Amino acid sequence: MASEEFASVWTRPKRKRRDQPALSQEQIVAEAIKLLDADGLEALSMRRLGAALGAVATAVYWHVANKEELMELVIDHVYGELEIAEISDPDEWQQGAIDFAHSFRDMILRHPWMGSTLADVGVTYFGPNVLHMSDRMLALYETAGFDLVEANQASTAVLGFVVGIASTEAATLSKVKRSGMSATDWMTSVWPAARQAAEQFPRVKALYAAHDAQDAATNSDETFNYGLSRVLDGLEARLATKR
């Protein structure tokens, strides 16, 4: 049995309509992102989006066939927020990778719902911003000295670290937001239970004893920078074997 061709909002034929639709694609995407940022992925529905826009459902469905197509547009728009330098000097590759990693992390933290969607991006998302980012990343790692295949592997290794760390941070941000507390106040409320649970585990207990709730709430930047540096150190060591 032949498999069905994969459907994407970017590859299907554009719908034709004589009269101007009541809503633009840009309006729909902007409102969807607003809803997602406010209440998360589970809260977004085509019905709720239509209500937020003050439009009948048919106005939304003229642009997108379903929620999956809507998410393709939304994710590609968010990828347009990313910044990645175009470098020509191999000695600048690490700084370019660092700047992009921070841009990617900041994007996820601005839009915490992105953390749960990123597993599909690059596999089933073909938007121009996603592909532009992928192309520029390959160029950065090729300039560093990797061939095309290994440039993709190096880029994937760095992005895997960034997405893993930032998605965990985003999940915590969402939990804090639901609590109605600040990050420091939320951690202060959780910290006594964490300390108590660690009593039987000497290394975890010692680690927790070396910090307080405020440390735990604010050391995410240090942890991110440490891990990113070690990943890039490994890639630099790999490049040294190729020179």
Q: Where in the chain is the domain with CATH 1.10.10.60?
A: 25-79
- Contact assessment for residue 67 and residue 46, using Cβ atoms and an 8 Å cutoff: yes
- Contact assessment for residue 158 and residue 98, using Cβ atoms and an 8 Å cutoff: no
In sequence order, what are the residues at sequence separation of 6 or more whose Cβ sits closer than 8 angstroms to the Cβ of residue 111? Answer: 33, 36, 37, 78
| Nearest CA among 56, 53, 7, 58 for reference residue 26 | 53
Joined tokens for residue 47: 């019905």
How many beta carbons lie within 10 A of that of residue 56, not counting itself? 12
In sequence order, what are the residues at sequence separation of 6 or more whose Cβ sits closer than 8 angstroms to the Cβ of residue 175? Answer: 186
Q: What's the Cα-to-Cα distance from 60 to each of 17, 64, 226, rounded to whole Å?
A: 14, 6, 44
Q: Is the pTM of this model over 0.95?
A: no
pLDDT band, residue 208 (cuts 50/70/90): confident
Angle, helices 220-242 vs 148-179, to 10°: value is 170
> Is the per-residue pLDDT at 18 higher than 60?
no
pLDDT band, residue 141 (cuts 50/70/90): very high
Range 81-85 average pLDDT: 93
* Whole-angstrom distance, CA of residue 36 vs CA of residue 113: 7
pLDDT band, residue 17 (cuts 50/70/90): low
148-188: pLDDT as tens digits: 999 999 999 999 999 999 999 998 888 888 888 888 888 88
Identify the architecture of domain 25-79 in CATH.
Orthogonal Bundle (1.10)
Q: Where in the chain is the domain with CATH 1.10.357.10?
A: 90-242
| Candidates 3.40.50.300, 3.40.228.10, 2.70.98.40, 1.10.357.10; CATH matching 90-242 | 1.10.357.10
Range 66-93 average pLDDT: 93
